Structure 1
Amino acid sequence: MRSSVEQVSRPVGGLKLTNDEFQKVRKIIHGYSGIFIQEGKEALVQSRLMKRVRKLGLSSFKEYLNYVDSDSSGEEFLALVDVITTNKTNFFREAKHFDFIESRVLPELRGRSVKWWNAGCSTGEEPITTAITLLEAKQHTGWGSVKILATDLSRDVLEVAKQGVYPASKMAGVPQDILRKYFSHDNGHFHVSNEIRKMITYGRLNLMDRWPLKGPFNVIMCRNVMIYFNRQTQQELVAKFHQLLEPGGYLFLGHSESIPKENRSFVNLAPAVYQKR
């Protein structure tokens, strides 16, 4: 799961986002979420803001940004954050991580209760994949209670995750036996089972804010999120993950992310897989 900013190639007709307006949006997003919007992403920001401008019936990006500033409820500010940050994910993404979980992590948890955190859960595919992996392994491994916490910055994607309903196009990478076992099919959409839903608690969390979380966690998955932060913020996040993990607990990052070798708090076991020393 990730909150990110992607490039788009087609310009939006009509209104033109000025450089000053673009810089203001960059500052707003970074100050609130820690995410850096790179230079050259003007077309993307313009197309995303246009959705809010049109919905509100405004005539310019300047008018929209003034509206954000004047909205004392803070609702439009959050709508701006939601529309600028995009969340891409899929079921069983980076499948080797789940192979590692099944072969290495879960046997170590045999007979124990499991406490898991999927940070940056997007629309729910990652925590659902996590739950399926745990349930499939539980048949021959066995442990106590299972609690999966799934968090994200965006209210929009969390609403999708809580609904647990996905179009058929989202299910391409899911094996047929898993589909039959953990999803029901209705009118072109797949509904995740109640068994899975009961394992996962969804909540909104800005990683830049204070974390009201209680550890220790056995596993933290924060994949394809830190790549959008600067080095200092990445180091701060890794330190906080370390505090919340149990001794020997596991941290999974995205395959384009890593912890510097000079950080002696974790040992690297596999690509983007770390264990707390």
Structure 2
Amino acid sequence: MNAPARSPAPAPRTPSLVEGEFVFTAEHFAQIRALLYEDSGISLPESKATLVYSRLAKRLRRLGLTSFGEYCALVSGADGTEERRAMMSFLTTNVTRFFREPHHFDHLREHLPGWAAKGPVRLWSAGCSTGQEPYSMALTVLACLPNAAELDIRILATDIDPVVVGQAHAGLYPDDLVDAIPADMRRGALKRDGSGWRMEDRVRRLIAFKELNLMQAWPMRGRFQAIFCRNVAIYFDLPTQERLWGRFADALTPDGRLYIGHSERASDPRFCSDGLTVYRLEGRAR
């Protein structure tokens, strides 16, 4: 008598990179990493797999999805544009505080009077997160130039994440964050709003908050005396960083300044060091 036919062995299960509620494979990670890079220029190393899982697993539950395969199909599809934006918001890190790297603001303060004496002053906070950086810039302007309201001084504050841009525009912060602002700068710059503090209109009027992806075309036509882009380029690969430094050089006025993060280096040959993580544009931008 012939032996009964054996059922084919089940295909081996693709191992999950992270132990958890959902299977999260190397293929899932690769798809998400590729989309994030395409949309924002951010390059995720494999060491960030656990972080990606932990942040997006919450999103899967909220959307009622049962697998990362479903999620990858959603964000890769024609109808996934909004979810891709949400994914980018979940995966980008917003670590900031008022007057972070205080020597940058001391340096800015030294140069503001000279710039203002020559005409309009334009400053840019590129990667403004929840607003502490551009508000620190504005407070520095007001401390240095008490007549700033009578001068042509504007600060552009941009970020790729619309959620944090909205928070920055609101200008509302709890006590523990406001404590980092020097006491002499707080007077007349903040007002009580519930359990927190809101920036006064005289501070807010100096700043225009906009959503902007640094990897896409920049709509600004004029040039800037100073650009702050700190701890943003560290999330990009080297070719993307080099393109960004070049574009910043093009966007600065002659002798303009670029302020960057402590672990970053501006590689464009038109820049020369002008202090700790401060670069001066030599000559005229292209």
After TM superposition, the score normalised by the length of structure 2 is 0.87
Preserved contact between residue 114 and residue 146 of structure 1 (Cα < 8 Å): yes
2:25 counterpart (6, 18, 38): 18
Distance 2:80 2:68 in 1: 20
The residue matched to 2:187 in structure 1 has which SS? helix
- Match status 1:109 vs 2:112: no
CA-atom RMSD in angstroms: 1.9
Q: Which residue in 2 is equivalent to 1:264?
A: 269
Offset at residue 181 of structure 1 (A): 2.1
Which of 209, 213, 220 is equivalent to 1:213?
220
1:136 aligns with 2:132: no
Per-residue deviation, residues 147-194 of structure 1 (Å, max 9, x unmatched): 111111111111111111112222231223323321112332111111
- Equivalents in 1 of 2:140, 2:232: separation in Å? 22
Unaligned runs of 5+ in 2: 1-17
Instruction: Name the aligned partner's letter for residue 164 of structure 2.
Output: V
Residue aligning to 1:52: 59
1:160 aligns with 2:170: no
- Distance in 2 (CA, whole Å) between partners of 1:46 and 1:228 is 18
Question: Any idea what SS the aligned residue of 1:181 has?
Answer: coil
Q: Find the aligned partners of 2:148 and 2:214 in 1 and give their Cα distance.
A: 33
| Structure 1 CA distance for aligned equivalents of residues 211 and 147 of structure 2 | 34
Alpha-carbon contact 1:12-1:47 (below 8 Å) kept: no
User: What is the Cα deviation at residue 202 of structure 1?
Assistant: 0.9
Does structure 1 conserve the Cα–Cα contact (< 8 Å) formed by 2:41 and 2:215?
yes
Task: Report if aligned partners of 2:74, 2:80 keep a CA contact under 8 Å in 1.
Answer: no
1:122 to 121, 129, 132: 129
Tell me the matched-pair count: 264
Q: Which structure has the larger Rg?
A: 2
The answer to whether the 8 Å contact 1:87/1:123 transfers is yes
Amino acid at match of 2:276: P
Deviations 1:227-257 (A, max 9, x none): 1112211111111111111111111111111
Contact 1:12 1:43 in 2 (8 A): no
Contact 2:258 / 2:279 at 8 angstroms: preserved in 1? yes
Any gaps of 5 or more consecutive residues in structure 1? 1-10
| Greater RCO (Cα-Cα under 8 Å, separation 6 or more) | 1
Match of 1:251 among 245, 255, 258: 258
| Alignment partners' CA distance in 2, 1:87 and 1:246 | 28
Given that 1:48 and 1:83 are in contact with CA atoms closer than 8 Å, whether structure 2 keeps it comes out as: yes
Partner of 1:36: 43
Aligned to 2:280: 275
CA distance in 2, matches of 1:86, 1:258: 20
Q: 1:110 to 1:209 in 2, by over 3 A?
A: closer
In the TM superposition, what is the alpha-carbon distance from 1:142 to its structure 2 partner? 9.3
8 Å CA contact retained: 1:109, 1:143: no
Q: How does 1:163-174 map to 2 (within 5 A)?
A: 163-174=170-181
CA contact (8 A) 1:220 1:252 kept: yes
